[in-house]
Chain A
């Protein structure tokens, strides 16, 4: 167990290192004109040279990278090009926002997806199964910005006009401003993200459940005379959850790297928003910072999924 953790953390670190090199290499592989962009149209070559000097872009590549790694190992990811803010600081501001969106939404979509999937699988081809399938397919194919904007239109615009100013137009209020504020700013982004992801989980759970319910040990469970509820949940769902857990890990990790569209629609300055900004500005330190956050999320999620696997299925050995 400990050996497993140590090995996985070490390989994770290796992955992060390789990714940082790749991002670095990619950044310089395409011709970049950060200094020119910052200096504006009428900049003189001297200004541009000065900017390059200040950003350290005039130094040899290996030196720039070496410096980055050295500082990174000391917990310093450098400063962003435009505002000279420490990247760690920018991320520390953005991450709680993205986490708020993703954690809340993931709980909703997991509950929604798994319960509707079970409902569907227990009575295949029934009316409820068909209804669930149609709804899942619908939300699966709606683009998230359409759903997000629709929700805004109905719950912000229409309601506010009708005199019920319950939901804000967007933006973020930290938890320190009060649970209520935070909650009402989060609810529409949550629903947007959750509805679209839940569909995947409905279908995944349904398929997995149908397969498990055909297993011999389910027949054994019924032959024992335990309640049907118990057969479905205690015996069926227990096994059917394994593929759901994998998918959940991947999805949550991916979204921590930025729920880009949802964040944009609801003007949430989270990781996704920062990454778009960083790319548009060719802001290398910020790009590196955001990419590293996303990578850490994926690495950690993978370790957690494997640990959870071992808990869910005693046949799995951690090695």
Chain B
């Protein structure tokens, strides 16, 4: 059984503009010791989905289940959740500059985490904090525990966050864009630290990112999110070399050359749909180059493709990209012919009018 099994998760926020349906039936599982990558454009619901699981989404209507070590986190009491957070699920966030409390020493912040859950004296907690800081590669950890966050660089602070998240040896680490705010070389170092920690403790990781380069380096399985839904779910290799969904294709096509801007995404043409009262049909339809009638009438379900159980896609198309290119060309020709026909009809109508 998987370590974490999320099933049909829905998250809705009541706002002044209406109900924001930020997560719409997301399901995924995370295997022990493995890394699940989550990619998707800004606003696709990656953070909301993962934070809801740990009870960090406030003021939302939540549906679905999230089974973790035999309990449903979405039905757990606040007390139960507190005993999971930090102890069994560690979290790190996007911006290391704002994620640590500016008024407390980093060592104190790690100790607080340990002492909140374990009956340990200050001394022991502190020794553990030093140990953790050196584990994530902070030089002179013994003296640096007494420094404040502002005395560390961004990369170093993210290491501190990792150290803190790993303090109690959690089974799962949720890293929400842990490298987005860092520059490229520091990114690589932080990813290394995460990998090292994973090897050492056998931690499972949920890694949220915009960066397909990061996915290529870290993930075992990948889910692609769009407008609060999972569009495609595949093992990493398949996602890059045998993907199915046009949105995934778009993401990969917009990936710039590795050397230009660090593998960051360039946006796909068009913008994601509103999360309030979305029209029915495939959410990607307005931006999809392959869109056809059925796409705007029905919403495609996430189903196995290519006769593989571990590769799912929410798209009506069948087959691979090459066939689709053919299909696209056929469609273009058909449209062209239709247009020509139409103008010919107009022309003849005009002539009749004159006559």
Interface residues of A (CB under 8 A from B): 215-217, 219-228, 230, 235, 238-239, 312-315
Contacts and interface: CB of A to CB of B under 8 A. Distances in A.
Contact of A313 (B56, B83, B91, B102): B102
Nearest to B164: A224
Given A222-B56, A223-B56, A225-B116, A314 B102 contact: yes
B83 A315 contact: no
Contact of B101 (A217, A222, A223, A225): A217
23 contacts: A216-B93, A216-B95, A217-B98, A217-B101, A220-B99, A220-B100, A221-B101, A223-B56, A223-B91, A223-B93, A223-B165, A224-B112, A224-B116, A225-B82, A225-B117, A235-B101, A238-B101, A312-B103, A314-B102, A314-B103, A314-B148, A314-B150, A315-B150
A219 B116 contact: no
Contacts of B99: 216-217, 219-220
Interface in B75-102: 78, 81-87, 90-91, 93, 95, 98-102
B85 A220 contact: no
B85 A238 contact: no
A230 to B, nearest CB: 8
Closest 9 CB pairs of A and B: A225-B86, A225-B85, A223-B91, A216-B98, A226-B116, A217-B101, A314-B148, A224-B86, A224-B113
B292 to A, nearest CB: 43
A220 B102 contact: no
Interface in B91-128: 91, 93, 95, 98-103, 112-113, 116-117
A290 to B, nearest CB: 39
B161 interface: yes
B54 interface: yes
Contacts of A313: 102-103
B161 to A, nearest CB: 7
Contacts of B84: 225
Interface of B: 51, 54, 56, 78, 81-87, 90-91, 93, 95, 98-103, 112-113, 116-117, 148, 150, 161, 164-165
Nearest to A227: B82
A215 B113 CA distance: 18
Nearest to B90: A223
A310 to B, nearest CB: 11
Nearest to A230: B116
A217 B113 CA distance: 13
A219 B102 contact: no
Contacts of B113: 224-226
A211 to B, nearest CB: 13
Nearest to B47: A219
Contacts of A222: 56, 85
Nearest to B85: A225
Contacts of A312: 103
A225 B87 contact: yes
A224 B93 contact: no
A244 to B, nearest CB: 14
Contacts of A235: 101
* Central interface residue in A215, A225, A313, by most chain B CB within 10 Å: A225
A316 to B, nearest CB: 10
B103 A223 contact: no
Given A217-B98, A238-B103, A313-B103, A224 B56 contact: no
B85 A223 contact: yes
Contacts of B90: 223
A210 to B, nearest CB: 13
Given A225-B116, A314-B150, A217 B100 contact: yes
Given A224-B113, A224-B164, A225-B87, A217 B102 contact: yes
B56 A225 contact: no
